[in-house]
Structure 1
Amino acid sequence: MSPDASKPELLTNMEMAAADRLTIAAGPPGSFLMESAGAAVAREAELLAPRQGRIVIFCGPGNNGGDGFVAARLLAARGFFIALGLLGRLDALRGDAACAANAWNGDVSAIDELSLDGADLAIDALFGAGLARDLDGSAKAAVLRLNEWARASGKPILSIDVPSGIDGSSGQIRGVAVQAERTVTFFRRKPGHLLLPGRLHCGRTVIADIGIAESVLSIINPQTLANGPAIWKSHFPVPRVDGHKYSRGHALVLSGGLAHTGAARLAARGALRAGAGLVTVATPREALGVHAAALTAVMTRLCDAPDELADLLKDRRKNALVMGPGLGVGAATRDFALAALEADAKSPEARRAIVLDADALTSFEGDALCLAQAIEASGAPVVLTPHDGEFARLFGMLTSDVADAWRKREPDPEILRARLAALHSPSKLERVRAAAALSGAVVLLKGADTVVAHPGGGASIAEDLPPWLATAGSGDVLAGIIGGLLAQSMPPFEAASAAVWLHGASARQFGPGLIAEDIPENLPPVLRVLFESLMLRRA
């Protein structure tokens, strides 16, 4: 009943509701699902409370509260002392929740009269993932009281589905939210279990099987996945015995001037450690000496202007390009990016994968349309890797005021309006999806909950990135790892998702005290375990 790699699908509130409906239509009644959910909650509660301990259950007015009533009945039968409170009137409950309440033989208190004195565990059964409004009134007071009790007593809260107050689809807080130590959810997790700030409120999340058939996934076709090998392993490049360096691709990294060379070297090292057969740093003449003195396995080529980059890119063996780290913000960098994209537009027979990061994105501030048009004209697989500030600078100006300029790319005004609006959504997932659709590129928005989305709407969410990744140069290495995987012909969405996972795994391998230079050097043990696992599966 814990999250595992075999269940990467993340279901939005609507998708989870569809899974319930499809299951009920196939036979098992809703009461069966509620009984199974309540039983799963009771099992988790037994792990958190001492034998014959006092458990206080806060029930809401819907099915989440119904799950709480079932858990109360089962826990009481196992010898626990149960106190149960209801938000709202007992006679206002409907459907399966009403049936579950009728089967409970104990007392039902008003929620604001429910005492937490002497409790060993509190169960939050107030609201599930589909909460559609901010909590207020008695509901808000109950959440605040639960959180204060947990803080003062050091005792745990177990939440059902998601902590009350968390939007399951976005991870956003609806007014206030329960701070749970553990959350039990059903069939599959929701995006809100992984996205911040929701993840910080869930504690440890466990998944319970309540009788929903796996076959419903093929009907629902969920578009959001937890990032891990399960979603990209079939595309991951495992070196072949008969392979050689040329068969593993050639990544080109564009360097900035003399005072900003480190970022390019970090990216180049990341690409090399990720498996690219060859890596070259294209450097201005003023920085050549610095690179030549610092680089060994990485080659150098001179490149001072966009036309010189275009000449380098005539060699189609250089099949992945990383540009942006330390490149500088301004017209020159913008021209370099456009020259790289134009080079692919002129050579449609062999599209080069391009990673645009950092300064290459900020150089298009307020003019994402120009970048999107160049990406479309090139036909190249492109990955954009902004952090929040770069994302806002690139896409923040895309409001309805500039809709006319985008209409040729998306003639349906309703779709266009929705995408432009989504760029300002509080949901990180929806922002990244909209940016990918508008730009025609895979977009990776960095953070502890890094989201990768492709233009077709599919997305991955990272769930286990260590906090020490927040260090100078870390993003440069990530861009390089993506470039190294792209050089080995990995598809862009899978390459970006895999790079995020490798980046985090390498940082965990090293541990606290990490600096950016440590990330590439800790990839080998991570790759060794990954290769052994993949080769075992493919054997």
Structure 2
Amino acid sequence: MTELLTAAQMRAIESDAIASGAVTGRELMERAGRGVLEAIFEEWPQLAAAPHRAAVVCGPGNNGGDGFVVARLLADWGWQVETFLYGDAERLPPDARANCDRWRGMGGDVRPLDAFNEIPSEHPDVVIDALFGTGLARGLDAGAAHAVGLMGIMRSWSPPVRVVAVDMPSGYCADSGRRLFDEPEVITRSVQRRPGADLTVTFERPRLGHRLDEAAQVVGRITVKPLGIRHEIDGPLQNSKTPIAKDCRVLPVWLQKAGEGQKYDHGHALVLSGGAGRTGAARLAARGALRIGAGLVTLGVPPAAQMEVACQITAVMLRRVADAEALTGLLGDNRINALCLGPGLGVEEAQAALLTAALASGRAAVLDADALTLIARDPALFAALHENCVLTPHGGEFARLFPDIAARLEAKPVTGPAYSKVDATRDAAARAGSTVLFKGADTVIAAPDGRCTVHSAQGDRAAPWLATAGAGDVLAGMIAGLQARGLAPDH
């Protein structure tokens, strides 16, 4: 799986590479600029065929230095290039200042950011957003926010201006993906596209913010370019005190089964159902467990629902579970190695007793929906959670389970790095002593020890058809099926 880095982790990698003598800061800046140029021409080959117009918006840090390199390289390609600087060139960091001077030395003009905000009379074909990148640690002032908003408007012009972000669309936290600015009036007055990029070019590894929150919706296509420091990356990553978050990996479409195996070799999942008229969610979960590859799936149903369920299912087994005592007896069969509780279960005392019995068994257990509601209500149930449990809350359920953590996540960020969904899920998993799968377009899965995986359903990975009733029930069943197959939650 691909590591997802924070801004601080990437800075440490670059600092170590420079300290080792393997590369200088100016060399890294040059490589970054060349990577941006390559990415532009790879994304839009027609732009390499003839000169075009570009506006390069440079910030007060090293991201701005990358922008000056891109400006010079585009000019060398024959493009007409205008550069705009936020801040004072005299106060740029040394490497960025050197590239600014080099740009000026070849006849390039550096105009103040206010000139960009006046909207140029001749529209550029491409805008390079090199304002802040991953270094943003504070909110934007009015001038910078206006420039960011203007880039969003330009993307809606006819023909549209292509916006290319260096490392990160400006105004978004590289660690959390959260927006650190209020959309300026120039945006809120219109129905134009929100600030962001068509292409984001980053280096060596994606950043967490590319996959999370609002930034994941506005980064466009992400291209990762090398800086030639691959050998210098391993040390900081291995020595990190916090486990590195990772991008999700995709399991094979079909999980292999041993040729000589029988059904119990591939696990037995038990899904508990609610009462009459409330069995649909559990039936969906049971089918999910079966289709993902569990060798055997049993639906445990209360007596009043037995006929209803029997008329609906075929490949799934059916057992009557009248109460917690009956469940304990059923769990005497050690071949049942994974449980799923919550979809359509109910939230009364009888269901709380079932959940207590399930947790006491120590079995791998997926806890969703009503099970999460019961746990949020009862500190004793929360205390009974264990490392074999997987909690699968959506935002509302997460807030009921972990109200203080959710409040911190929902608080409007003022400075960066902002508290992220990764931070929140890690904190929740550590508190529960269980794996937490925090659902959403940016699903985060965290183990109690801090290991973390992110699945961002954005761009070509978007799956809007899953935003429908029953999808979460199927997911819970699939996780139970995978646990029955012996896969650990972090797999």
TM-score relative to the length of structure 2: 0.88
Select which of 441, 447, 470 maps to 1:473: 470
Equivalents in 1 of 2:405, 2:139: separation in Å?
28
Q: 1:173 is paired with a residue of what secondary structure?
A: coil
CA–CA distance in structure 1, aligned partners of residues 302 and 167 of structure 2? 55
SS of equivalent to 1:282 = strand
Q: Where do residues 47-446 of structure 1 align in structure 2 (5 Å cutoff)?
A: 47-48=43-44, 49=47, 51-104=50-103, 105=106, 106-114=108-116, 115-116=119-120, 117-153=122-158, 154-175=160-181, 176=183, 178-221=195-238, 222-229=243-250, 238-344=256-362, 352-367=363-378, 369-376=379-386, 381-396=388-403, 427-446=420-439
Contact 1:237 1:485 in 2 (8 A): no
**TM-fit CA distance, 1:228:** 1.2
1:471 Cα offset (Å): 0.6
RMSD between aligned alpha carbons? 2.0
Q: Distance in 1 between matches of 2:382 and 2:388?
A: 12
Amino acid at match of 1:148: I
Kept in 2, the 8 Å contact 1:366–1:396? The answer is no
Separation in structure 2 between the aligned mates of residue 273 and residue 218 of structure 1, nearest angstrom: 41
Change beyond 3 A, Cα 1:423–1:151: closer
Amino acid at match of 1:72: A
**Residues 376 and 382 of structure 2 are in contact (CA less than 8 Å); yes or no, is this contact kept in structure 1?**
no
Determine helix, strand or coil for the equivalent of 1:36.
Answer: helix
| Aligned 8 A contact 2:17 2:232 in 1 | no
Can you give the 5+ residue segments of structure 2 that lack an aligned partner in the other structure? 184-193, 412-417
> Does the C-alpha gap of structure 1 residues 397 and 101 become closer, same or farther in structure 2, counting only changes over 3 Å?
closer
- Rate the CA distance shift 1:228–1:398 in 2: closer, same or farther, 3 A: closer
Tell me how far 1:152 sits from its aligned partner: 2.6
Quote the residue 2:13 is aligned against.
19
For the residue of structure 2 that corresponds to 1:260, the secondary structure is coil
TM-aligned CA distance change 1:398 to 1:448, over 3 Å:
closer
Map Cα deviations across residues 479-509 of structure 1 (whole Å, 9 max, x no partner): 0000001001111221xxxxxxxxxxxxxxx
Q: Aligned pair in 2 of structure 1 residues 211, 397: CA closer, same or farther (>3 Å)?
A: closer
- For 1:215 and 1:370, the matched residues in 2 are separated by 48
Between 208-217 and 422-431, report the one with greater CA deviation: 422-431
Any conservation in 1 of the 2:405–2:428 contact (CA below 8 Å)?
Answer: no
Distance 2:409 2:463 in 1: 28
Using the alignment, how far apart are the partners of 1:187 and 1:341 within structure 2? Answer: 43
Contact 1:18/1:220 (8 A) holds in 2: no
Deviation at 1:429, TM superposition (A): 1.3
* SS at 1:363 equivalent: helix
Q: Deviations over 1:137-176 (max 9, x none)?
A: 2211211222222223422100000100111110101115
Q: C-alpha separation between the residues in 2 aligned to 1:214 and 1:304? A: 60
Name the CA distance, whole Å, in 2 between partners of 1:398 and 1:33.
Answer: 38
Query: How has the CA–CA distance of structure 1 residues 383 and 158 changed in structure 2, closer, same or farther, with 3 Å as cutoff?
Result: same
User: For residues 431-454 of structure 1, what are the alpha-carbon distances to aligned partners after superposition, in whole Å with 9 as ceiling and x for unaligned?
Assistant: 111110000010001111111110
Return the alpha-carbon distance in structure 1 between the equivalents of residues 284 and 125 of structure 2. 51
The DSSP-based 3-state class of the residue aligned with 1:492 is coil
Shift of 1:92: 1.1
Instruction: Measure the CA separation in 1 of the matches of 2:231 and 2:382.
Output: 38
Q: How far apart, CA to CA, are the structure 1 residues paired with 2:15 and 2:139?
A: 26
**CA deviation map 1:32-57 (0-9, x unaligned):** 11100011112233454462110000
Write out per-residue CA displacement over residues 273-303 of structure 1, whole angstroms, 9 at most, x where no aligned residue.
1111000000001110111111111000001
CA distance in 2, matches of 1:215, 1:138: 38
Instruction: Provide structure 1 residue ranges, at least 5 long, that are not aligned to the other structure.
Output: 1-6, 345-351, 400-419, 495-539
> Could you say which residue in structure 1 is the equivalent of 2:447?
454
Identity of counterpart residues, as a percentage? 44
Contact (CA 8 Å) 2:281, 2:343: kept in 1 or not?
Answer: yes
TM-score by length of 1: 0.81
Whether the 8 Å CA contact 1:354–1:382 is kept in 2: the answer is yes
CA distance in 2, matches of 1:309, 1:223: 40
1: CA distance between counterparts of 2:219 and 2:404?
Answer: 34
Name the amino acid aligned to 1:110: P
The AA in structure 1 aligned to 2:475 is: L
